[in-house]
Amino acid sequence: MSALEIVAVVVSFLAIWLTAKRWLLCWPTSLLACALYFKLFLDVRLYADMVLQALFGVAIVYGWIVWIKGKGDAGEVMVEPLLPLQAWAGLAAGAAGAVAIGWFTSRYTDAALPWMDSALSSFSLVAQYWTARRHAASWLLWIAVDILYVGMFAFKGLWLTAGLYAAMIALAVLGYRRWQEARSAN
């Protein structure tokens, strides 16, 4: 456990909590968390997750813009339904990305867990995109991904980060419930 990991955990937890509450401050907080985890993942050779943090940075800027435009009359961020075709397309893109990234990292890098790291990174991008598009279903994908991340980070000895992801599962459950309530109120 390093000081970098401790700070990254605290900032990440705050970012997820702000996202569950649908507060715009979640986006700059998430951007800081990405930068911190980029460095941490570089240090422990989880390259797909390191690249994921850079891609998250782009997705965060996109999400911030979408959320600013997606406010309702009361100033709250509106939740949008995820259509079945969108869900299947997102999951197919996640699977394709997992195979492509996994092949590359297993063949051309010394990645510690190339296939698992790649799959989780790819499906995290799908979940991030769904979050940016304000789909409550994003939280369900986050729950699945975070459960697997707990195991991967525990295996790598990143105990504090594994604990963060365990807490993020609880936050994702809270986020899903809150977003479902908000969707019902629309």
Q: What is the pLDDT along the chain (186 residues), one digit of tens a residue?
A: 789 989 998 999 899 999 888 888 999 999 999 999 999 989 988 777 788 899 889 989 998 898 888 776 666 778 889 999 999 999 999 999 999 999 998 999 888 889 998 999 899 999 999 998 989 999 999 999 999 999 999 998 889 889 989 999 999 999 999 889 887 776
Give the integer Cα–Cα distance in Å for 4 and 172: 24
**Angle, CA of 60, 15 and 166, to the nearest 5°:** 115
At 2, list the tokens: 């390093």
Question: Can you state the percent helix, strand and coil of the chain, rounding each to 5?
Answer: 80, 0, 20
Q: Do the beta carbons of residue 106 and residue 148 sit within 8 Å?
A: no
Distance between CA 135 and CA 78 in Å, rounded?
9
Q: How far apart are CA 17 and CA 142, in angstroms?
A: 13
- What's the pLDDT score for residue 50? 85
> Strand pairing partners for 90?
none
